[in-house]
Structure 1
């Protein structure tokens, strides 16, 4: 049996047979997956999108979301969607880097100077080009969601300079770009699944990891990693995508409506995200975690070889130049 068949079977069991029977029972119900919990801003935005579709179609179209990695990790659900076993997925750009090369242009460390800068780039032509590049890979890019600024946290000490990271074992997602970034800073990148980070920190398998405020808080990593250093090395967005298989079943008007619903969910997600960041920050600080600001210049200076390695095509280079040239204010 092929890996994709195994994944599809596992997802079907996890969803109580949803993949096997959803379309025969509820032809207008899109099956969606998110690795984050149901109360996370991305999950809530997908649920909002489903209600939008229901209201606009009188219930003819809707979304059934399986949050909390019920149908597998981001990499697994992405693979399932690629061959049509899932209709909608929300994933970080990291697992897309090896599939769709243009996503690398929005994934580079220290590329975006602020959330406004990111929004200006991805709400316009640059973002449209990256979304459009997904179709040859079995996906239709619908919209970008925020994932905030990612920073390093660890069990050993505050990180103020790259020297403080020397020889630290830092968890990263399964992405060559993330591995290269962490290694360039003098640490040792350790790719492991997100769900294994807490145990890895508690048992000393890893010394640290990197993520945004809400993930640091919601996964309870702050309980075992008492140092959070605000390097803000990545402002990598999330992508909301639909399987080409599901997309091609839709009429032209329904395709337009799905795009409209996805885009309409973006400001909803951003509002939820900002509120969640404040809540997570308050929780982490109240728990006594040592949080420190960082001068990013010494960190950013070490990223040129990483950029040079991963920006390998004229198309990628063009997108990066256009992003860098943009102002921060949307």
Structure 2
């Protein structure tokens, strides 16, 4: 009984310490993420939380809820707008119906590479976009990397635009993606992500498009070993806080939050690059053939009708031009 009593006393002491630690936080912000614990975006926000707690001497705590614990992305964005949730990390793709300006960032080949995307998002264009988020009760603190999507198939290495002709690719149920495939001379087949493996295996489709970690984790490399690193789509992600929570913070704490978020973006991008490299090495070892040296110019030129269809206003045309000209 003495052992049990001592253990119980230890548990009670630990609980008391936890209660004291929680009490030290004058403000606790809840942050949502759909990805699992350990994922780069989750680890990024965790790093932000640590820096904020340290620099505010424990006055502000950020509690991260991964794995859709607080809901799926669209739901948690809306809850953040209403102040039910304090913070959210989500893809620009989910914001398209909420912040219309984000739609342009789903255009194919908008960014030349990841470095180009970082320069755009960390510069004046990213600042202007933050103003658009503010109009919808969201304060954009930092932009994360969600990876780049590339083509993979079961038939042959794709090295030129002509190699895509006639191939059937699964795409997300998105008009831009369907039009992109048509412009490239391939056939778009919208279908749920969970059906892709068997569809390639049975020949319903020839391939799909995604990033290295998804290509690896879903096992698609087992049925489609030809991967072409064309990076046709790079959709940024954002860490945003509710204006309700933001307005309750004094200016000095707002500055701490913003700086910590931007520092976390540097870490998240590094973690994402490491995850991509690890997945690439894994699929290559398993037999995947990676095509990297391709001339993207014909692919980009083929997008003219897609841009003509979706970039219709002078404001949108100017923004796209400024993005493309960013060095």
TM range (shorter): 0.7 to 0.9
Q: Which moved more, 1:65-74 or 1:228-237?
A: 65-74
Q: Would the aligned equivalents of 2:33 and 2:66 in 1 still touch at CA under 8 Å?
A: yes
Cα distance, 1:49 vs. partner?
Answer: 0.5
Quick one: structure 1 residues 50 and 235, their matched pair in 2 at CA, closer, same or farther if it must change by over 3 Å? same
> How much does 1:139 deviate?
1.9
Distance in 2 (CA, whole Å) between partners of 1:29 and 1:158 is 51
| 3-state secondary structure, aligned to 2:58 | coil
- 1:72-108: per-residue Cα shift (whole Å, max 9, x none)? 4433333333333322222222222232222234332
1:40-119 to 2 correspondence within 5 Å? 40-119=39-118
**2:305 corresponds to which residue?**
305
Residues in 1 aligned to 2:70 and 2:166: alpha-carbon distance in whole angstroms: 37
Aligned partners of 1:92 and 1:237 also within 8 Å: yes
Aligned-partner SS, 1:320: helix
- 5+ unaligned residues in a row in structure 1: which ranges? 1-22
Q: Residues 139 and 180 (structure 1 numbering): CA distance in 2 closer, same or farther, change over 3 Å?
A: farther
Who is 1:314 aligned against? 314
SS of aligned partner of 1:141: strand
2:113·2:231 contact (CA, 8 Å) conserved in 1? no
Corresponding residue for residue 273 of structure 1: 272
Distance 1:164 1:78, change over 3 A: same
Structure 1 pair 125–239 and aligned structure 2 pair: CA distance change class (3 A): same
Question: Which structure's CA Rg is the greater one?
Answer: 2
Q: Is the 8 A contact 2:143 2:265 kept in 1?
A: yes
The two structures have a TM-score, normalised by structure 1, of 0.80
Q: What is the rounded CA distance, in whole Å, between the counterparts of 2:266 and 2:117 in structure 1?
A: 14
Report which stretch shifted further, 80-89 or 130-139.
Answer: 80-89
> What is the rounded CA distance, in whole Å, between the counterparts of 2:111 and 2:280 in structure 1?
21
Mean Cα deviation higher: 230-239 or 49-58? 230-239
Aligned length: 303
* 1:163 Cα offset (Å): 5.2
Match of 1:295 in 2: 295
- Structure 2 gaps of 5+ residues are 1-21
Paired position in structure 2 for 1:20: none
Find the aligned partners of 1:247 and 1:204 in 2 and give their Cα distance. Answer: 51
Does the 8 Å contact 1:141/1:242 carry over to 2?
A: yes
